[in-house]
Chain A
Amino acid sequence: MDLTTFLIQLLNALQYGLLLFLVASGLTLIFGIMGIINLAHGSFYMMGAYMAFALTSATGNLFVAILLGIVLSALIGFLLEWGLFSRLYKRDHLDQVLLTYGLILMFEEIRSMIVGDDVHGVRIPEMLSASVQLSETLSYPVYRLFMSAVCIVLAVLMYWLIRHTRLGMMIRAGSSNREMVQSLGINIDLIYRLVFALGVTLAAFAGMLAAPVSSVYPGMGNQVLIICFVVVVIGGVGSVWGALVAALLIGLADTFGKVIIPDFAGLTVYLLMAVVLLWRPEGIFRRI
């Protein structure tokens, strides 16, 4: 592998890792802060991808579709927390698994009813559809650079939100002692609702962003969900920073694994997980 190929594969790895982080950070927020095992998180990702497809077909513009999709998925996240998840905080993990598993089935059925079971593609917007020539033989699609840039901006924003804002402080405090925060007169229920809506929106947004490069197909959420759990486990449960590092590591393992040992394309990620867990059974980082 020459240097250019190596660098481009590095770009591929970065882009995949950042996208994974976007999905997994929502999962780790919901799990780490609210303590809910959310199996339906992959379904939010799928929902986003199908929204991107349906809304792009309707409006003819991916960016308009993404804006509409963000509003819609935030609303759906808010309503889900209000109607279902808020009842789960005090229940044990088995109840949470049952409910969120039921949600997976419901999301698949609803998708099937509204858009059917076909595989769809989403067209890359004209202004981002070019490629940059990086060497004589290798060019790199602009849209993928755009995806990486958006993900980096969001990661920085999230870091800032959790570390340096009042809201972030309340979120962090709430995750360690809910009652104490409540007794200080802070509306922790509303904060939780917002965090949950944020988690759903992040997953859906990742789905929308990925739709033009990964196509849109039934069951796509479950594939992502499994990898996201690997991210959370490697990074350390509840740690957003850990999720970022883990997602990037997985991006590297997956991308280079595919190219160097294609026969084990699906395995490298799990090998990485095994190695990390032998070294640090609780993941690389712990808690926020």
Chain B
Amino acid sequence: MSHEVNRRQFLISSAAVAAGLALPSAPLFAQGARKVRVGLMLPYTGTYAALGNAITNGFKLAVEQGGGKLGGSEVEYFTVDDESDPAKAPENANKLIKRDNVDVLVGTVHSGVALAMTRVARETKSLLIVPNAGADEITGPLCAPNIFRTSFSAWQPAYAMGNVMAERKHKNVVTLSWKYSFGEQSVAGFKEAFEKAGGKVVKELYLPFPNVEFQPYLTEIAALKPDAVFVFFAGGGAVKFVKDYAAAGLKSTIPLYGSGFLTDGTLEAQGEAAEGLLTTLHYADGLDIPKDKEFRAAYASAFKMQPDVYAVQGYDTAQLFAAGLAAVKGDVGKRDELIKAMESATIDSPRGKFTLSKAHNPVQDIYLRKVEGKENKVVSVAAKALADPARGCRM
């Protein structure tokens, strides 16, 4: 009899122990131990590979500084090389969202790919943070509660330059850019500010992307004799343009201005020809911001190289998501709260603190920079807390 009881007692108690182990462990799994899944869709090969790596490094640096955690949650990465190919963008984005089930999609550099990602994010209601691509549409007509950007819109740096050039008493200006959306949006932003301040764009010149045969345009500029020239070019095209402009003897007679992409990451190749050029961007060398000094030191020691604007944007992407995660204690299921916290976050960025506009684009200072040696040295703040007008955004 006692034997029977013992056996029953044993069964009951062991069941209780098993239940006791199983029950509390379930909520524990859902809240604390579940890692946050981050999908990085960036270019890791091709022309933009360096940019994709810088963004990734910046993102990972922020995670490391949080002790391997983002807003208190551990992070698991899922990575896809987007190859800067818009044709592959929907498939890549869907792979991360549906197969890997990521909680946030981070990407990308190329505006065409980013626009495709934006459309996928709108359809699937996935959380998307754009760490570079500047197409105005992303925080314009395509804006959505689940879509954020931590970089800039094409309009922003160009608009700031419009004011700078008007203040510098230039009256008649010729613009030159590649004929594709980012270039046209840059020229439109510049023109808006410049003509509002009383200047006049006497001619808008465009060449097909990524054409770099500038000679007919340089001849035309020399003949038109404007007070100054505003251009958008980036990468290899920017290197060649700045050199050709100087070689044509125009640099000393007609001042050249551009948005910051003209001289970012290109100074080594441009050499002497770029010296003294003025550009506008949301980041610069020699900013007197404690956060920037700390960031640059940490980045240099972690990756054995100097950070650039892309690394800053990657870093801030992680910071923005961390603000959301901290507010919901890692429970990404609380979507509305997460988004609300991200919307109202103030990001302590190396570029200076910024907040987000209603359309989820940074409201940030745009700096006027001057090329000195191999650096884009800050001269002044060209536009204080500049918000993108976000035309076409209904949110």
Q: Which residues from chain A sit less than 8 Å from chain B, CB to CB?
A: 1-2, 4-5, 8-9, 12-13, 15-16, 117-121, 129, 131, 137-139, 141, 144, 213-215, 217-218, 223, 255, 258-259, 262-263, 265-266
Contact = CB atoms under 8 A, between A and B. Distances in A.
A4 B216 CA distance: 13
B86 interface: no
B235 interface: yes
A157 B248 CA distance: 32
Nearest to B49: A117
Contact of A121 (B47, B207, B239): B239
A262 B240 contact: no
B283 to A, nearest CB: 23
Interface stretch (B28-36, B129-137, B192-200, B219-227): B219-227
B286 interface: no
30 contacts: A2-B223, A4-B223, A5-B220, A9-B216, A9-B219, A12-B219, A13-B216, A117-B47, A119-B236, A120-B236, A121-B243, A131-B248, A137-B223, A137-B225, A138-B219, A138-B222, A139-B249, A215-B236, A215-B239, A258-B207, A258-B216, A258-B217, A259-B205, A259-B219, A262-B204, A262-B207, A263-B206, A265-B207, A266-B179, A266-B208
Given A138-B223, A262-B206, 8 more contacts: A5-B220, A5-B222, A117-B47, A118-B47, A119-B237, A120-B236, A213-B215, A259-B217
B248 A259 contact: no
Contacts of B253: 137
Contact of A214 (B213, B247, B248): B213
Given A117-B46, A117-B47, A137-B222, A259 B212 contact: no
A121 B244 CA distance: 11
Nearest to B209: A266
A6 to B, nearest CB: 9
Given A131-B248, A265-B208, A12 B215 contact: yes
Contacts of A2: 223
Given A121-B243, A139-B249, A262-B205, A5 B219 contact: yes
The 6 closest A-B pairs by CB, nearest first: A119-B236, A5-B223, A266-B208, A262-B205, A259-B220, A215-B240
Contacts of B47: 117-119, 218
B203 to A, nearest CB: 7
Contacts of A120: 236
A217 B236 contact: yes
B222 A144 contact: no
B33 to A, nearest CB: 42
A218 B46 CA distance: 9
Chain B, interface residues (CB within 8 Å), range: 20 to 34
B236 A213 contact: no
Contacts of B206: 262-263, 265
Nearest to A6: B223
B238 to A, nearest CB: 10
Interface of B: 45-47, 49, 179, 203-208, 210-213, 215-217, 219-220, 222-223, 225, 235-237, 239-240, 243, 247-249, 253, 269
Contacts of A12: 215-216, 219
A217 B212 CA distance: 10
Nearest to B217: A258
A262 B203 contact: yes
B253 to A, nearest CB: 7
A5 B222 CA distance: 9
B47 to A, nearest CB: 6
A12 B244 CA distance: 14
A158 to B, nearest CB: 24
A222 to B, nearest CB: 12
A70 B262 CA distance: 35
A15 to B, nearest CB: 8
Contacts of B49: 117
Contacts of A258: 205, 207, 216-217, 220
A256 to B, nearest CB: 8
A119 B235 contact: yes
B45 A259 contact: no
Contacts of B208: 265-266
Contacts of B211: 223
Nearest to B176: A262
Contacts of B217: 258-259
Contacts of A144: 215
B179 A117 contact: no
A233 to B, nearest CB: 20
B185 to A, nearest CB: 15
Given A16-B213, A119-B235, A262-B204, A141 B247 contact: yes
A119 B236 CA distance: 5
B290 to A, nearest CB: 36
A255 B249 contact: no
A129 B244 CA distance: 11
A2 B217 CA distance: 15
B8 to A, nearest CB: 74
B223 A118 contact: no
Most buried by B among A4, A120, A265: A265
A107 B248 CA distance: 34
Most buried by B among A1, A118, A262: A262
B51 to A, nearest CB: 13
